[in-house]
Amino acid sequence: MKVVMIHGQNHKGSTYNIGRQIAEKIVGSGVGDKITGSEVAEKIAGSGNIVEFFLPRDLNHFCIGCYKCIEDVTACPFFEEKNRIMSEVESADILIFTSPTYCLRESGPMKSFLDLTFNYWMSHRPRQCMFSKKAIVISTCAGSGANKTVKAISEALFYWGVPYIVKYGIGVQAMSWDGISDKKKQKIDKDTTRIARKVLAKKNVRVGGKTRVLFALMRMMQKANFGSGEADRKYWEEQGWLDKKRPWG
């Protein structure tokens, strides 16, 4: 069981701590005891691991709109740093995204990361592995906006093809993890246990109708040569998606 975390902040505040609690409950502690199945067996065997990336520490760039990635993904000026993150993302069983709410949305570094991975979107070159992944998206705010943040990040993951996304936005009325009241921390503890259990218990992740419709539209676009160019079309062709093959089982 491999959990990959993308943090939209360098610091370890409320949002980080909530994300980390969930990750540890998934890979390490006893919250899955009541769940049967191979994932739990793995967890009990202690074979899970957590890989973390912090933004901007691990990807300190903005998309410059050069569109070089459209021709050749390796031609992005930031490919090396981006690829270090995305190869871990691609091999993850569970993805956890965390971002504090800044001005009712995700943090700037998280938005920048989503921009820099736009060629993973279904309108360009979605990766087959994404269509069977589970993801958890977390945000905290002082008063309001966490749900909007979580929605914005989840939307990008939907466009990557991720079929199962659990959203958790919470107002903490605090500027740091230490500033959160004990009562609120007890609620967070219960919520993180519930989310870890729910995600572990989810088997047979299936692509939903909305993804299928969007994929069909993107396929029509590629077939009609209305996409972003020959390189994207060739990619779809190579995957067999312009014929009968689909990225889900």
Ligand X SMILES: Cc1cc2nc3c(=O)[nH]c(=O)nc-3n(C[C@H](O)[C@H](O)[C@H](O)COP(=O)(O)O)c2cc1C
CB burial of residue 178 (10 Å; 0-12, 13-18, 19+): exposed
Judged by CB under 6 A, the number of residues near ligand X is 20
3-class SS at 175? coil
Which range of residues in 76-84, 172-180, 193-201, 218-226 is near ligand X by CB under 6 A?
172-180
Among 104, 213, 216, 217, interactor with ligand X by CB under 6 A: 104
- Asked if 142 touches ligand X (CB under 6 A), the answer is yes
- Asked if 140 touches ligand X (CB under 6 A), the answer is yes
CA-to-CA separations, 112 to 7, 55, 58, in angstroms, rounded: 12, 9, 12
Two structure tokens written together for 51: 């890989």
Residues 161 and 247: their CA atoms lie apart, in Å, by 9
Q: Locate tokens 């093809």: which residue?
A: 161
- Asked if 102 touches ligand X (CB under 6 A), the answer is yes
Residue with Cβ nearer ligand X (101 or 211): 101
- Asked if 22 touches ligand X (CB under 6 A), the answer is no
Residue with Cβ nearer ligand X (105 or 219): 105
Residues 9 and 12: their CA atoms lie apart, in Å, by 8
- Asked if 19 touches ligand X (CB under 6 A), the answer is no
Residue with Cβ nearer ligand X (141 or 162): 141
- Asked if 14 touches ligand X (CB under 6 A), the answer is yes
Which range of residues in 13-21, 34-42, 203-211, 231-239 is near ligand X by CB under 6 A?
13-21
Residue 100: CB atoms within 10 A of its CB come to: 25
Alpha helices in the chain (DSSP H): 14-27, 38-44, 68-71, 79-90, 108-116, 146-160, 182-201, 209-223, 230-239
Which range of residues in 98-106, 117-125, 153-161, 197-205 is near ligand X by CB under 6 A?
98-106
Binding site for ligand X (CB under 6 A): 9, 13-16, 100-104, 140-145, 172, 174-176
